[in-house]
Structure 1
Amino acid sequence: MFELRDYQSETIDNIYSELKQGKRSLVVQQPPRTGKTVIMAEIARRTTAKGNRVLFIVHRIEIVEQVIQTFKQQGVNMDLCKVGMVQTFTRRISKLDKPDLILIDEAHHVLADSYMRIVNNFPDAIKLMFTATPYRMSGQGFEEVADGLIEGKQVSWLIDHKRLSPVDYYAPKSINEKLLKTRKGEFSNKSIDEAIKPKIYGDAVKHYKKIAKGTNAIAYCHSVDSAKKLADEFNQSGIKAVEVDGSTDAQDREQIITDFKNGKIKVLTNVELFTEGLDLPGVDTVIQLRPTQSLSLYLQFAMRSMNYREGKTAKIIDHVGNVERFGLPTQDRHWTLKSKNKRSKKKKTDVVPVTVCSQCFSTFYRIGNECPVCHAELKVNKAEIDVDENAELTKIQERKKARTIRLQKMMKDEVYKNIIGKSPADLKSMAELKAYAKLHNYKDGWVFYQAKQKGLIRIR
């Protein structure tokens, strides 16, 4: 059996606490690389140990066997637990045994008709819906399927407590975003082909050699053809690389992953194969060559390299400006079940814009009007990022200095000392909620929502 980590046990305790209060359908948020499957396996073990049935829903065939193995290792009674794809279950819904508990993986997909058909068919079952990002590009919320939300630890907390590796983020922009066009909310492959500069594959190899040479890297491309071209470019440069995609034979893929883990292959190029759910051990560097409008996909891309190892600093190389759309993967994020106003002019993810110095091309969260690296003067209210194709890569700088000063001032107040290291589920009073909101730059509406959920205020 797996030994649960402290934050995983905390999440499980929070889930059972909500269920005891009468909740029946919960969205459970856990950042990527923090063991959602292990948490679900422990809940399934406890459920089947009491003789109750579990239905576990995934959306990709590659994940099924991986989940089954994890569940068996955790001691789940598989005679009472059925694991399968949503596409299969929705076609055979009349043949399914009535579950007492439904577990849904990557639950930001749950509002799709195929999921809803299953959920609605078993109204008496408890539903636990796990996702790293309870967020949809359409802005549609999850209120119709969930009566509660459990938020996991922030990525910054997980890094500070050595549960995830710290990361250096590099953003050499090699794409003309003006040529990108959307189709069904996401950038089309045709427009990406037109927007990506011809030399991008050579650039990717050059930058890998400069800042990540010798590390195991995975590159996310937008098409099989682009993934093969990139692998060829690496191989021609003397770096062993292999392209792998959904059509790769299962046995061949298993051998490729083994060779990658053992260092025989240094770079894997792929098209979304190693994103949601599918495990790939030993990744130190991520190379992003596929622009996306999906926050979920971005975090899955970016955080793939952040599994913790003592002394490790993960590296992310973003050639397509994803960081400009979503901010750093390490920034604190607050989640809600509520729908977003589609007409809002605010960015959907409330991204703090990054800035690129026109002198040294360092990329950072802006503080004041001076570059923190070369001390050049920055233009006030600069809206567009200037990119020199010949510029060398520079690392994105976190806002550590300003945050440290701010925290030092706050720590003089006893209420702030009491909330350090806590999650929203741990907060017990209005004072703690207000302090937590100020500490994390949350709006007043967050305090009101949390207080209402905890019964600290009542609306007549």
Structure 2
Amino acid sequence: MFELRPYQKESLEGIYRSLGNSNHCIVVQSPPRTGKTVLMAEIARRTTAKGNKILFIVHRKEIIDQVRRTFTEQKVKPEFCQIGMVQTFSRHIDRLAKPDVILVDEAHHALASSYRKVLDAFPNAVKLLFTATPVRLGRQQLDQIATDIVEGKQIQDLIDMGFLAKFRYFARKQIDEDKLKKSSTGDFTVDSMTEALTTGIYSTVVKEYRERVNGQQAVVYWFSVETAKKCAQAFQNSGISAAEIDGDTPDNIRDDIVQKFRDGKIKVLSNVNLFTEGIDLPNVDCVIMARPTQSLALYLQFAMRCLNPRQGKTATIIDMVDNWRRHGLPSDHRDWKKMMVTGKKRKSSGGGVGGMGICQCPKCLAVWNSQEVRDNDNTCLDPACGHNPVLPVQERKLKLKQGEIVEIDQSERRRRDFFERLMKKQIMNNIGCKRPYELSSYQECQQYAALHGYKKGWAYHYAKDHGLPGLPHN
């Protein structure tokens, strides 16, 4: 049996307290790579030991065998358990034994109709919704079904305690933001991501791997089978063992590739929509993000894949698509209780430009917490780099006139002038830390557009589409 870690015991105690306060549908938050399945197995063990029934809901078939193995090790009584995919359960509700407790894995998906159908079918069951990121793209949040949240430890706390690995974060932008378009789900479309890739991104990914982590086990996240295959080919052409796998890869081939990766025979896995939620792949030293995303949940699943700890390990995260500017660092503090409330403005979890949340060293391209850089005399925190100054010299693009985008001249004077214009006190204090969905007026949209170099007309159309006040009268 597994012995619960201290933070898992705290979560379990928090669940009991919440139940004692008459909550019957509770979100249980804990960061990726912190053993949510083990905690759920312990809850299932205690439940089934009393002869009560468990319904365990997953949304990917790859997770089912892993859950069953963990339940077996934890001495969960299988005769009282139903473990399966939400799609199957929602189609065959009439065949399900009435559960006393429903456990939902990756519960940030739980507002989908298939989940709601199952959850609503058993109104008297205790429902525990487990997720690393209780926040969704779109307006509706998990407070639509849950009445409480048990928050786990913050990521930085778990790193400090040794339960997650330390990490370095490097960013080299290889995507044209202006070409990214959102779908109805709120994330970027595959077509726009394909168009936005810059020339030479595959060779640059290989170059970054060689320079940062050569020989270590790495996972590269892409957004299409075509891009993932091109990446794997680029590694192979450079003499680095690599393979591509995706949702259409036959199970026997995928299992063989994953085992070779675990054995170190394959150094790089290039993948699409795999190795995010729930799938165990412990020996990852490096993550390379080549998929931009608006989803904080997806970003953290990407970034934290390499944070399984071991003695002396420092993981490496390489961001090719500016996700750090959208979401901050994985270790940023996040108030999940506020973020899971529908209709509430959610404070940015990080990102932005120097002086606010995080910043990038222009020499080594490492990304750091801005306050820590200030406390270090504005010097890069990597002792092998030690560049000074860091804060005023981030790579930013300035739109000089309609249709023309140029890279800022890296001379000290131009850097300083641009930084001062960008950091105008009035604008920064007003909307500097906000995301678009947090803007409350047309005037704020104008300021946001100016700050981020958006195209003319963005502010008007965004404010109009979202019903924000202050639009000019025709």
TM over 0.5: yes
Deviation at 1:349, TM superposition (A): 4.1
Q: 2:316 corresponds to which letter in structure 1?
A: K
Distance in 1, Cα, partners of 2:33 & 2:360: 29
Q: 2:389 corresponds to which letter in structure 1?
A: A
Q: 2:147 corresponds to which letter in structure 1?
A: D
Matches within 5 A, 1:96-111: 96-111=96-111
Q: How many residues are aligned here?
A: 388
Match of 1:206 in 2: 207
Q: 2:126 corresponds to which letter in structure 1?
A: I
Deviation at 1:352, TM superposition (A): 5.2
Q: Secondary structure at the match of 1:26?
A: strand
Q: 1:365 aligns with which of 362, 365, 369?
A: 369
Matches within 5 A, 1:129-144: 129-144=129-144
Structure 1 pair 388–111 and aligned structure 2 pair: CA distance change class (3 A)? same
Cα contact 2:359–2:390 (8 A) shared by 1: no
More moved, 58-67 vs 291-300: 58-67
Distance in 1, Cα, partners of 2:315 & 2:213: 9
Q: Secondary structure at the match of 1:76?
A: coil
Q: 2:341 corresponds to which letter in structure 1?
A: S
Distance in 1, Cα, partners of 2:306 & 2:211: 18
Matches within 5 A, 1:25-424: 25-184=25-184, 185-336=186-337, 338-341=340-343, 349=349, 351=351, 353=353, 354-356=358-360, 363-367=367-371, 371-373=378-380, 374-376=387-389, 379=392, 384=396
Match of 2:463 in 1: none
Deviation at 1:384, TM superposition (A): 3.9
Cα contact 1:25–1:128 (8 A) shared by 2: yes
Cα contact 1:103–1:127 (8 A) shared by 2: yes
Cα contact 2:140–2:342 (8 A) shared by 1: yes
Cα contact 2:332–2:349 (8 A) shared by 1: no
Distance in 1, Cα, partners of 2:114 & 2:193: 30
Deviation at 1:339, TM superposition (A): 2.8
Which sections of structure 1, spanning at least 5 residues, go unmatched? 392-460
Distance in 2, Cα, partners of 1:142 & 1:182: 22
Distance in 2, Cα, partners of 1:164 & 1:379: 31
Higher relative contact order (CA 8 A, sep 6+): 1
Deviation at 1:375, TM superposition (A): 2.3
* Deviations 1:381-408 (CA, angstroms, capped at 9, x unpaired): x89468979x9xxxxxxxxxxxxxxxxx
Deviation at 1:359, TM superposition (A): 6.6
Q: 2:332 corresponds to which letter in structure 1?
A: Q
Structure 1 pair 176–17 and aligned structure 2 pair: CA distance change class (3 A)? same
Q: 1:47 corresponds to which letter in structure 2?
A: T
* Deviations 1:326-383 (CA, angstroms, capped at 9, x unpaired): 00001111112653547x5x76545454334557755433346974233238559x89
Deviation at 1:20, TM superposition (A): 2.4
Cα contact 2:397–2:407 (8 A) shared by 1: no
Q: Secondary structure at the match of 2:304?
A: helix
Match of 1:454 in 2: none
Deviation at 1:23, TM superposition (A): 1.7
Q: Name the % identity.
A: 49
Deviation at 1:281, TM superposition (A): 1.9
Distance in 1, Cα, partners of 2:147 & 2:74: 28
Q: Secondary structure at the match of 2:127?
A: strand
More moved, 144-153 vs 127-136: 144-153
Q: Secondary structure at the match of 1:325?
A: helix
Distance in 2, Cα, partners of 1:126 & 1:158: 28
Q: Secondary structure at the match of 2:336?
A: coil
Distance in 1, Cα, partners of 2:390 & 2:60: 50
Match of 1:426 in 2: none
Structure 1 pair 214–188 and aligned structure 2 pair: CA distance change class (3 A)? same
Cα contact 1:139–1:339 (8 A) shared by 2: no
More moved, 85-94 vs 330-339: 330-339
Structure 1 pair 371–45 and aligned structure 2 pair: CA distance change class (3 A)? same
Which sections of structure 2, spanning at least 5 residues, go unmatched? 381-386, 399-405, 411-474
Structure 1 pair 24–341 and aligned structure 2 pair: CA distance change class (3 A)? closer
Distance in 2, Cα, partners of 1:326 & 1:215: 26
Structure 1 pair 388–35 and aligned structure 2 pair: CA distance change class (3 A)? farther
Distance in 2, Cα, partners of 1:349 & 1:340: 17
Distance in 2, Cα, partners of 1:356 & 1:157: 23
Q: Provide the TM-score with structure 1 as the length reference.
A: 0.80
Q: Secondary structure at the match of 1:333?
A: coil
Deviation at 1:142, TM superposition (A): 2.0
Q: Secondary structure at the match of 1:183?
A: coil
Deviation at 1:6, TM superposition (A): 1.5
Q: 1:339 corresponds to which letter in structure 2?
A: V
Aligned-residue Cα RMSD (Å) equals 2.4
Structure 1 pair 281–383 and aligned structure 2 pair: CA distance change class (3 A)? closer
Q: 2:388 corresponds to which letter in structure 1?
A: H
Q: 1:372 corresponds to which letter in structure 2?
A: T
Match of 1:422 in 2: none
Q: 1:195 corresponds to which letter in structure 2?
A: A
Cα contact 2:225–2:272 (8 A) shared by 1: yes
Structure 1 pair 310–383 and aligned structure 2 pair: CA distance change class (3 A)? closer
